[in-house]
Chains A and B, each alone.
Chain A
Amino acid sequence: MVRKAFTYTLMILSLAAIVYGGFGRKFTVFDNLEKFDQLKNLGIKIKLPGYQQESPQLKVESQAFTEPEVVNATTFDGIGRYKDGRLMSKYPDLRMLKGRRPCPT
């Protein structure tokens, strides 16, 4: 009886964690413009939706990502933190990661 009570309680909690984590939880991730500039200085052209390639000055943009999207990004080691604690994409923009394969960590 006690075991069943634990089982059902844990099942409900884990389902709640999955549902909230999967659909409700959002992470604000900021673009890594330093990396963007480094790439531009190397002559690498970056095509990203939402950015004007010709724009001389790029502003840091933040985007809200769902937890599954962040999980996907972490498989690329794609998210870090700025010194002030904000979440930061280790790539110029996390949208770059769509359809790519992760490198070994």
Chain B
Amino acid sequence: METLRLKVQLAFAILFNIGLFQWHTVCFPVLNCHSCPISVFSCPLGVIGQFTQLGLVPLTVVGGIALAGVIGGRILCGWACPFGFAQELLYKIPYFKFRIPSWTRFVKYGVLGGLVIAVPFFLSTQSPLYFCRLCPVATIESAIPWAVIKGSTDVAWLSVRLVILFAVIILVMGHRRFFCKVICPLGACLSLCNRVAAVFPERTEDCTECTVCAKVCPMETDPRAKGAAVFDNHAEECISCLECRKKCPTESIRLWGG
């Protein structure tokens, strides 16, 4: 399953950055910077920030995120997001591994409300606090390539972005999907839809509550957490990666309709 998922993630990463055509009128709800010279779709967070600055709501983008979330929750984080894919690969690098407190998952809601919506609305998208100006994905896909293509850049600001990127890489190497859990504002949007997602992992009557699923879960969800059990309550953090299904000794986990 993991090999299949990595192949699907790679295919999506290529599709989003194939560079043969540009379709920026469409937002695909994954974190992929539209300022990338070879990007195909526009980034929902970038568009939301720009619209917020104008005092508008991008209905197609918000509707697209909501529709994706209602259908599959965070399944796009697990199967389609190029940066999620990059994080999976970075975590495979041998490095000091650490745990983080569970309350840190609420930080991403603050990032969504603060850096993606409030900063462009009250200040401007030119503000250094605007999410896109700090985003590590934008640094990799846009700031660095354009600095090379154009041969000039704001060195001081690029240095700040590189420091942030380096810090995120270090954290991702030490904690699986750190960015998805703690920082990603798009993950926050999709997390809010997890509870009502139509397609979601569920357990059958064969489950023996051995909690093997909890041990292998990259998002550290718990099948027994009160009010936030991953299968019974559709926990916000589940990315439907189905790692749990692969390891389940009684094969009692399935995706809805599976």
Contacts and interface: CB of A to CB of B under 8 A. Distances in A.
Interface of A: 3, 6-7, 10-11, 13-18, 20-22, 25, 27, 67-69, 71-72, 74-75, 77, 79-81, 87, 99, 101-105
Given A18-B63, A79-B50, A79-B54, A10 B35 contact: no
Nearest to B133: A105
Contacts of A25: 59
Contacts of B54: 79-81, 87
Given A21-B60, A102-B35, A71 B42 contact: yes
Which range holds the interface residue count of chain B? 35 or more
Contacts of A21: 58-61, 63
Interface string B12-35: 000000000010111100000011
B230 interface: no
A103 B66 contact: no
B66 A14 contact: yes
Contacts of A75: 24, 34-35, 42-43, 46-47, 50
Nearest to A81: B54
Contacts, number: 106
Give the top 3 A-B pairs by smallest Cβ distance, nearest first: A21-B59, A17-B63, A68-B25
A102 B24 contact: yes
Nearest to A87: B54
Which of B54, B61, B143, B196 counts the most chain A CB atoms within 10 A?
A: B196
Contacts of B50: 74-75, 77, 79
A25 B57 CA distance: 11
Interface of B: 22, 24-27, 34-35, 37, 42-43, 46-47, 50-51, 54, 56, 58-64, 66-67, 70-71, 125, 132-133, 138, 142-143, 146, 193, 195-198, 234
A7 B174 CA distance: 36
Contacts of B64: 14, 18
Which of A6, A14, A25, A104 counts the most chain B CB atoms within 10 A?
A: A104
A104 B142 contact: yes
A93 B51 CA distance: 18
A45 to B, nearest CB: 23
Contact of B60 (A13, A67, A99, A103): A67
A58 B42 CA distance: 33
Contact of B63 (A15, A99, A102): A15
B70 A14 contact: yes
A71 B35 contact: no
Contacts of A13: 63, 66
A10 B196 contact: yes
Contacts of A102: 24, 34-35
Contacts of A87: 54
A17 B60 contact: yes
Contacts of B193: 10
